[in-house]
Amino acid sequence: MADSTGTLTISEVAHRTGLSVHALRFYEREGVLADPVRRDAAGRRRYSEADVGWLTVCIVLRESGMPLPEIRRYTELVRQGGGTEAERLALMRVHRERVLQQIAQLTRSLDLINYKVGVYEDAVGTTASSPTVATG
């Protein structure tokens, strides 16, 4: 929960995003946060709701396989503001194609796995006493 200044501690952000405190510090060092992390009078990191929202975008991009240098580049473009939309679009299109290729590969894998499940379900249901299954 945000404090009276409307900011969150690093532990609170870690809890909300599922990232570790170490990962949050790493993301800060790597330059993937859209805004500089603010500090309180004691030097402790303070995050805004906007920071949490941006981190959520970074998490989704990372989980979908976007390399960290591309996330950093995307962040730099966002920081630059208007006029960078075409480059941001190009970056997202390239990543979308990568994700679509991953989905296609996973679909092929799932098809094979579903086939094997069917083979073994049939084998267990009809030949449960037989120790060997010819299809491997």
- For residue 48, the domain's CATH number is 1.10.1660.10
* Residue 15, in any domain of the structure: yes
Residue 53: which domain range? 10-127
3-state secondary structure of 89: helix
Tally of domains in the chain: 1
* Residue 3, in any domain of the structure: no
Taking the C-alpha atoms of residue 93 and residue 65, their distance in angstroms, rounded to an integer, is 14
Segments in 1-136 forming alpha helices (H): 10-17, 21-30, 49-63, 68-80, 85-127
| pLDDT tens-digit profile, the chain (136 residues) | 655 568 999 999 999 999 999 999 999 999 999 999 999 999 999 999 999 999 999 999 999 999 999 999 999 999 999 999 999 999 999 999 999 999 999 999 999 999 999 999 999 986 545 455 555 6
